[in-house]
Structure 1
């Protein structure tokens, strides 16, 4: 039972290793196995055919010798060299043929060089026989076996090398296709898989690249159509919403008027945010770069958005960035922390690195896994405040600046209460 379990475990490990092995080594192993099988089969066939041919030749030679010995004996009464009369060691099969007055040969296995017998009945009723080892003839078989072994090894090595070469080329093309497809999935709409792998080789990889490129073009077309529809709708709403906000300001003071002004202003903010998201999705926005002293810049912007937030400048830095877009990013991150988190909000500046942290429940798992998504708020039933566009806009503006924005939840050991942590890394140049 233990042995069976050990063998089963070994098979499972080998199967797992085979699944984890790359295409190059799988293809090489398959070619090597097939080459070894073919080499063994061919060597076996060649060895047996050569041995059979040598035995047939030895039978013919031995038969000629015994006929010659019979002629000599019947003419002179003397036995030729190695000839025997009524040999006691004569195999029973030859005795059977001699009893029928027939000549015959017989091969008796004896190591690498078999013993070849031949007999012929004489006119006086006796049996003349001869036996010989054709050692010199069968010694060639050993040389042939060595040549077959060397040839088989060369075939296996050559097949393995060919498998590594072909598999490596195919694996490289597939890896490049996967990398290009990953860049397309990441939003690089100008990347084409077929250009990445090269179009010189027409194979299944090229067909796969064509299919992925066609799918990417179709998706890009649909996304562009959706972006245009969203931008057009938001743009058409902008004028009447602006008029609505202006009209709300003219209403007489009172609670109903305050509600109308508040909701109309919220609608105006939503329309402006949707327009900004549509522009960012178009990937045509360009940053207006200026030198910015980051510490003082962050202090002023955070004081406007969240006066109660704590700003800590560990190391100041001058970065070249777009102040308007950076202000938008910081404002959205701080506003998101104030809306969905709990005090204290901490903003840390450490060189080109900005961190915004609250002490609330943290980011949802789907946001950490998939990133910010438009109109996804912190409340599953959408009963909370906000429209779910703040982090989406911050991510889009970060992309325009060439910066990097990441999200994580603080562990309890990082400080009391954990909380959500947004980290922005700005390029110095």
Structure 2
């Protein structure tokens, strides 16, 4: 049965104009994160930076990446934002003694003692690749430095995966292994392959996806395990006492099924001879999300997490899950031609517009409770522009190359 009888939304200039207007508003909102002391702060609901909260590495990497994409779209004021982010990553956050980057800085700028984390570092590589493609000063040097740190410390060639974290001097390697950090390394590796022209980066992305999706997720009926030991054995009971942890929640994370669905499409499009399982798994994960994640508790929206039988664990709705669902639906629709994905693309945007989008400011509510009222237990404020830009921009771009390279080549 054909679900859509009118032209695809992405074929309509009015829809693209709406998306682009929201991108412009989002970048205006991002300006409020810029700190005179260096880097970007944590954005609050009113568009100002929290003066008390630390400056976090992963958010600075994300915001620099977003600013680079905005610059390449010709948005005035975005170029200085890229330079501001590159300067902070090159100077303020960079550990000049041990290498790598500090995960957070105090408001005054002093490093906060902590571990060197894969998750945080993945966004430095992404930011460097995007700034390099944008041709901004220092972008290529940041990319080269981040690539060196990844290959020297985080990349485990034997496992074909990333290690998780280290002490500040890159000793005391963590025995934990995480799907989340590897997922973001996949995105960063694809960007690195585009920026460098070295196809080995695409092979690394495929290796991480193969272990986590083609093996672990498939073996668990597409309920992706998030937590592993040092031998990459799933740890299904991890964080059972902290089930709503913002980065390591118990169970399986619905939004990650959607994010992986999108990333598998990007990997497939980046390889000269992609394995068939990539398309199969991309569609399976998306279908799994709409079956076990959408409105399963009686309210519309994607729940946050389930157990490995599909029982809801945490019913809050995260904006980033919806953003990734929108991008995945658009890309799957483009590569398969199946009207099912156009149906879900429209359905998800309608849901976003009604409950999440603040259209005048271009930002989104970050978290809703199960009854679709705003909540802030995991994501207070409005700090994330990265996932919102994915929903607005990626549907307008090809599946490969990645966003920065596609914009640099005029492929929008």
Q: TM-score, normalized by length of structure 2? A: 0.23
Q: TM-score, normalized by length of structure 1? A: 0.23
Structure with the bigger percentage of strand: 1
Higher relative contact order (CA 8 A, sep 6+): 2
Structure with the bigger percentage of helix: 1
Larger Rg: 1
